[in-house]
Amino acid sequence: MKNKTQPDGKSFSSESFLIGCYSRVSTDEQANVIEGSLDNQRHRMQSFLEIKNMQEPQWGQIVEHFIDDGYSAKDTNRPAYTRMMKALKSGKINAIMVTELSRLSRNIPDFCDFHKLLESHGAKFFSIKEQFDSSTPPGKMMLYNMINLAQFEREQTSERVAINCHARAQRGFLNGGPAVLGYDKDPAKKATFVVNDTEAKQVRRIFELFTEQRSLSRTIDALSAEGIKPKSRGNSKDRLVKDGRWTTDSLSYVLKNKSYIAVREANKSNINKDQAKLKAWQRYGTYRASWPAIIDVTTFETVQKILEENAERERMRLDTSEKRVFAASGLCQCEECGRRLVGQSAHGKKQVHRYYVHSSKKGDVISCSTKRIKADKIESKLAEHLSQILLEAGHFEQIESRIRQMASDSPEKIKVEKEKLTIEFSKLSLAVKNTFKIQAALDADSDAIKETAKELEDLSRKKRHIESELQNLKAKELAKDDVDDAVSDLKERLAAFKRGWVKASAVVKKSLMKDLIYSILVSPKGLKIQYRLKHDLNKPVTSEDLVAAKEFENNVIAIAEKRREKSSGTVPDAASADATSPGGADFHNVSILGSQVVGIGSERRT
């Protein structure tokens, strides 16, 4: 039997509302709570629609459910919300339904923009809890009052938490976070530290070594020699710290940390702001900590003085040195290992040489065949290639063809997979609906209600997985609507590049390059370009992508000259040596191997 809420062109007139149902929960924990959960919201909207269709035949139909699982309503940076707005603009839906206003937004400016967009497209908005007619002045006033209250509630809660955290900091207590080297969390009182005697000795030794070496890099070498490692944390974002290796950032953090002199810092992120303009609980301050010191104040202040002297010398060096701009910095990526390539200068006998080298930390081993590449060769070849696109017939058409090909990848396969998932999703939706009915008939104190709650949780997990797969497929379909706009926008930016490149300064050239190019894959054979496109049609290329698949190599469009014969020029000095060193590939003649776009229509959380 067909679900009454599913689209059916034969059952509904052209005047029926094409509804996009929006559901949201703020955290993963909320997603498993029955009251207010994603399934509960979905069930309420379906029930509401069934009642409206009984009252007014052919009143409306649900076109799609848009679900943001684990996103806050403080802003509109939500993937499902963004897709819903695209569907509204394209005419796929002409009405939006939520269970209550706070699911959609808790921010007045965002809601104002949302409501203006609805009005400009002649669309309707329905909130089950607050049933106001937004087409009338009183109804619109009530809507804005409700969203104002929702924003007030969010801001008041945030302020209350911040005030409480500041009060705890004033008493010397922690507000969460991991223990630092030299301390452990007190098992009896998690808001304070207890001294870890073994690590405390290491911290004292770190301060001693830095006082002797007076340099972060030399101190790291000394620490490695003595076997002193940073405190291991399984959730650390720094891969080197995870591996037990020091970085200049992790060492600097230890040396600047006032926790070691029993000082608790509050609102450290506001230290450089005008304190007079901040509220009392927002101001930076230092207070006596609730744990003992392991470094004396004199040693700590000596270390701070050395760090400041080093920073001042570095500032002077940068201020007096020649500015060297790398136009492709941040865009280049090694195809062999996936690491970013960054600009680096080397001083020869007669001139300064610029290179792109692997981004690495101290101790990293670069095993790629290409160790470094002359910056001038990459930048000149990119400029030449981009000029060819505009001047030579057929070049841009090839790129446009590739973009469209990627956007329309396997439409039949998408359709079959979508139908399969939709059937499975409908079965689960029916099971959830029946379970809700059973739960409603049970006694609140019975054991059976616990069993139904467990069953709902299991069904919810399965539904969320299928819904995620469906959203990915629908995102690919929606991406096709954006391709025309993306191609036109790329053509305009190419024209702007041509007008500005010749007379532009080095800094402006870098800006022009970044505006046009999303990424450049660098290999011993040449370069592969991915252009920057609108509507989030680009996808980052990860190391795993490069290792797991060779599609980048097999599916490129040949658009430039073949590599010329190897040059046999001599190298005047070691600093100016090209990537022909032992183990390195000859990169004397750079060529553009291809240009392409990958991963169109992918969904990512930001």
H runs (alpha helix) in 184-277: 197-213, 216-226, 239-242, 248-256
The pair of structure tokens assigned to 529 is 């370009």
Q: Taking residues 546-557, what's their average pLDDT?
A: 40
Altogether, the residues listed in the chain come to a count of: 606
H/E stretch holding 306: helix 297-320
Check residue 605 and report its DSSP letter.
-
The beta-carbon contacts of 133-138 under 8 Å, at least 24 apart in sequence, are none
Q: Where are the domains of the chain?
A: 17-162, 183-320, 332-404+501-595
Asked whether 291 and 182 are in contact (CB, 8 A), the reply is no
Q: Per mean pLDDT, which range of 216-220, 225-229, 579-583 is the poorest?
A: 579-583
Cα distances (Å, whole numbers) of residue 466 to 79, 433, 472:
16, 17, 10
pLDDT > 70 fraction of the chain, expressed in percent and rounded: 74
Check residue 359 and report its DSSP letter.
-
- pLDDT tens digits, 436-476: 777 777 766 677 777 777 777 777 777 777 776 776 666 66
- Residue 143: name the closest of 156, 155, 153, 131 by CA: 131
Distance of alpha carbon 87 from alpha carbon 64, whole angstroms: 9
Sheet with 341-347, strands from edge to edge, namely 341-347, 352-358, 372-374
pLDDT of residue 165: 92
Distance of alpha carbon 578 from alpha carbon 564, whole angstroms: 17
In terms of Cβ atoms closer than 10 Å to its own Cβ (0-12, 13-18, 19+), residue 109 is exposed
Q: Provide DSSP, 109-120.
A: HHHHHHHHHHHH
The pair of structure tokens assigned to 570 is 């001599």
The pair of structure tokens assigned to 206 is 């770190």
Residue 298 pLDDT > 60: yes
Residue 547 pLDDT > 60: no
Distance of alpha carbon 407 from alpha carbon 414, whole angstroms: 12
Residue 426 pLDDT > 50: yes
User: Would you tell me the crossing angle of helices 248-256 and 297-320 to the nearest 10 degrees?
Assistant: 140
Q: Mean pLDDT highest for which of 175-179, 506-510, 526-530, 581-585?
A: 175-179
Q: 191-226 as b/e, with b when 16 or more CB fall inside 10 Å?
A: ebbeebeebbebbbebbebbeebeebeebbebbeee
Contacts of residue 196, Cβ cutoff 8 Å, sequence gap at least 6: 179, 182, 183, 184
pLDDT of residue 255: 96
Check residue 215 and report its DSSP letter.
S
Strands 193-195 and 263-266: unpaired
Third-level CATH fold of 183-320 = Hect, E3 ligase catalytic domain fold (3.90.1750)
pLDDT of residue 27: 63
Asked whether 445 and 393 are in contact (CB, 8 A), the reply is no
State CA 270 to chain mean position distance.
24
Chain mean pLDDT for the chain: 76
pLDDT of residue 582: 34
The pair of structure tokens assigned to 403 is 């973009």
Where does the pLDDT of residue 587 fall: very low under 50, low under 70, confident under 90, or very high at 90 and above? Answer: very low
Distance of alpha carbon 224 from alpha carbon 218, whole angstroms: 10
Q: Which residue has the tokens 């499902």?
A: 80
- pLDDT tens digits, 468-497: 677 666 666 655 556 777 777 777 777 777
In terms of Cβ atoms closer than 10 Å to its own Cβ (0-12, 13-18, 19+), residue 399 is buried
Helix (H, G, I), strand (E, B) or coil at 431: helix
Strands 124-127 and 95-98: parallel
The pair of structure tokens assigned to 433 is 């609906």
The beta-carbon contacts of 393-398 under 8 Å, at least 24 apart in sequence, are 395/559, 396/491, 396/494, 398/557, 398/559
Asked whether 90 and 79 are in contact (CB, 8 A), the reply is no
H/E stretch holding 41: helix 38-55
Residue 424 pLDDT > 70: yes
Asked whether 48 and 97 are in contact (CB, 8 A), the reply is yes
At residue 462, what are phi and psi to the nearest 5 degrees?
-65, -40
Where does the pLDDT of residue 592 fall: very low under 50, low under 70, confident under 90, or very high at 90 and above? Answer: low
Q: Taking residues 505-532, what's their average pLDDT?
A: 81
Where does the pLDDT of residue 6 fall: very low under 50, low under 70, confident under 90, or very high at 90 and above? Answer: very low
How many other CB atoms sit within 10 Å of the CB of residue 346?
Answer: 16
Asked whether the CA dihedral 585, 591, 596, 602 is positive or negative, the reply is positive
Distance of alpha carbon 49 from alpha carbon 46, whole angstroms: 5
- Residue 178: name the closest of 263, 239, 241, 235 by CA: 235
Residue 540 pLDDT > 90: no
Show the beta-strand stretches assigned E in 233-296.
263-266, 285-288
Distance of alpha carbon 405 from alpha carbon 588, whole angstroms: 33
Asked whether 194 and 184 are in contact (CB, 8 A), the reply is yes
Asked whether the CA dihedral 444, 449, 454, 455 is positive or negative, the reply is negative
- Which is the CATH superfamily of the domain at 17-162? Resolvase, N-terminal catalytic domain (3.40.50.1390)
